[in-house]
């Protein structure tokens, strides 16, 4: 039986892993590319189904962070921190809502063995 990879699955070398820890056991950092961040704002009036909106927003936020890391040549984001501001205000649109912010350090990790 032949296994084929679909377009929806990233190549293993393109996968960016996310870690809340600043180091990953069994690996060494070949390079650090510095801090990267991503932010997303969800206006209160645009959210009908909060669970669905939260799931979609979280996926979009983390994929944006992965894209930034990937563009730098990183295969991981270490020290990831995600914060949530439920009382955020977006001045230019005069809107209130939910702001998600993710920050971490883009790194190129290699296995020790």
Q: What percent of the chain has pLDDT over 90?
A: 58
Q: Are residues 42 and 97 in contact, defined by beta-carbon separation less than 8 angstroms?
A: yes
Cβ atoms of 80 and 19 closer than 8 Å? yes
pLDDT per position as a tens digit, 76-105 = 999 999 998 988 888 887 888 889 999 999
**In order of start, what are the domains of the chain with their CATH numbers?**
14-111 (3.30.110.70)
Looking only at the bridges linking them, the beta strands covering 17-18 and 76-90 are: parallel
């Amino acid at each position: 039986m032949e296994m084929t990879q679909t377009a929806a699955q990233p190549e293993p070398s393109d996968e960016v892993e996310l870690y809340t820890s600043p180091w990953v056991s069994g690996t060494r950092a070949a390079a650090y590319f510095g801090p990267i961040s991503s932010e997303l704002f969800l206006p209160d009036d645009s959210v009908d189904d909060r669970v669905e909106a939260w799931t979609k927003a979280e996926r979009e936020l983390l994929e944006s962070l992965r894209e930034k890391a990937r563009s730098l040549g990183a295969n991981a984001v270490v020290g990831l921190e995600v914060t949530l501001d439920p009382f955020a205000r977006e001045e230019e649109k005069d809107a209130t809502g939910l702001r998600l912010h993710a920050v971490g350090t883009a790194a190129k990790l290699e296995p020790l063995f």
